[in-house]
Structures are given as structure tokens and as C-alpha cells.
């Protein structure tokens, strides 16, 4: 996160920094493709595995 967001962004306020960081964390945890789980987003991976276990 520091390399991809914090060091590259000049935040105008602490509030803006918080909003941007929260948004980045949400993207990273829910949408970003992860190679360790078969090039899927965590949401896709969980949905696939929930279907298989049902």
C-alpha cells in the first residue's frame, strides 16, 4: 500500500488520506487479482468455493 498509494500521493488532508486508504484496502481485498488464488479476486474465489462446498 505504501509503494502503490501513500508514497505516490500528496494528500490535502488527513480526511482525504483516510478515504483514499480505505478505498485502496477495499479494492485490494475485494477486487484485485491475486496470483496465489488462481488469478481471481478474493470475491470470485470465495463465491466459487462456496458453490463447490454447497
pTM of the model: 0.68
Helix (H, G, I), strand (E, B) or coil at 7: coil
pLDDT at 30: 86
Answer whether 41's CB lies under 8 Å from 34's CB.
yes
Instruction: List the chain pLDDT tens, one digit each, 54 residues.
Output: 999 999 999 999 999 999 999 999 999 888 899 999 999 998 899 898 887 776
**Domain definitions of the chain by residue range:** 2-53
Helix (H, G, I), strand (E, B) or coil at 28: helix
Answer whether 20's CB lies under 8 Å from 5's CB.
yes
d(CA 46, CA 7): 31
Answer whether 41's CB lies under 8 Å from 30's CB.
yes
Amino acid at each position: 500500500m505504501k509503494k502503490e498509494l501513500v508514497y505516490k500521493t500528496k494528500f490535502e488532508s488527513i480526511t482525504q488520506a483516510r478515504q483514499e486508504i480505505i478505498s485502496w484496502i477495499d479494492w485490494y481485498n475485494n477486487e484485485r487479482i491475486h496470483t496465489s488464488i488462481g488469478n481471481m479476486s478474493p470475491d470470485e474465489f470465495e463465491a466459487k468455493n462456496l458453490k463447490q462446498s454447497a
